[in-house]
Structure 1
């Protein structure tokens, strides 16, 4: 059995705890973190748009001018992903595989879940009430397109059923 645990800043604790509770002892657990490609790409674009393709005349890249901030952001994102995966592995406290991917987050999660027996996902939208808005856009896409069963968890205790929105009025 393979269990994919989607690790996201702010909700990963609940996903790891769900894996500890629901994954059989002999399951292969994969901790998955996906870094969106859009932030470093935006930094590359801003740099190119504001400063042109090269560095400003009279300034040398070694002096800090001309260094594309997108590359630095990619490095920081990769380091952050590794730190998050390490913290998740420590909390899991059992053998696991750490997988860091970069791309369109929702599509990378769905692709990583191909062939898995279970995908663990945390709610990341409006968590003050029950309902479909408790899922953000990427999580909604993953839940709707996952090629395996999905365990959807609350990162904190779920709100009471009194928070369910009223039925629509037909009138």
Structure 2
């Protein structure tokens, strides 16, 4: 059994704990972190357009990419330490939601944490990237709450029904 655990800052402990609780001992666990390329891309573009003619070694986008890679490695190490069993750590860069879906190809389970409005039950508890992943994952998804789930009273009331005509 292959299990992919999506590691995201702020919600990763719940995903790792879910893997610990639900993965059989013989499961191959992959801890996956994806770094988006938007911020470094903006820095590269600003430097090239405004400042960087002929001085690529001074491009701040390169430094931002290195900082992001270092941060991802530290986060994956923390997750592996918390898991406390053999696992594979993978760092990818690109459009986050698409990289997660691609990494889940061939997996038996993908573990994802809710990352939206976690004060209410419902669809808004998923941010855009997580919603895309849940909708497009090529395998079963275990969707976990990063903290205790809100109570049933947090479900919004149903929409009003039109009056029935007789």
Matched, 1:92 2:77: no
Q: Distance in 2 between matches of 1:151 and 1:123?
A: 10
Q: Note the aligned Cα RMSD (angstroms).
A: 1.2
Q: CA-to-partner distance for each residue in 1:52-81, whole Å, 9 max, x for gaps?
A: 4235xxxxx8xxxx6100000000000000
Q: TM-score, normalised by structure 1?
A: 0.92
Unaligned runs of 5+ in 2: none
Find the counterpart in structure 2 of residue 28 from structure 1. Answer: 28
Find the counterpart in structure 1 of residue 150 from structure 2. Answer: 159
Find the counterpart in structure 2 of residue 130 from structure 1. Answer: 121
Q: Distance in 2 between matches of 1:168 and 1:116?
A: 38
Q: CA-to-partner distance for each residue in 1:27-47, whole Å, 9 max, x for gaps?
A: 000000000011110110111
Q: Distance in 2 between matches of 1:163 and 1:118?
A: 28
Give the drift of 1:49: 2.4
Find the counterpart in structure 2 of residue 2 from structure 1. Answer: 2
Matched, 1:150 2:160: no
DSSP-derived class of the 2:40 partner? helix
Q: Distance in 2 between matches of 1:48 and 1:112?
A: 32
Q: TM-score, normalised by structure 2?
A: 0.94
Q: Distance in 2 between matches of 1:27 and 1:2?
A: 6
Find the counterpart in structure 1 of residue 37 from structure 2. Answer: 37
Report the number of matched residues: 162
Unaligned runs of 5+ in 1: 56-60
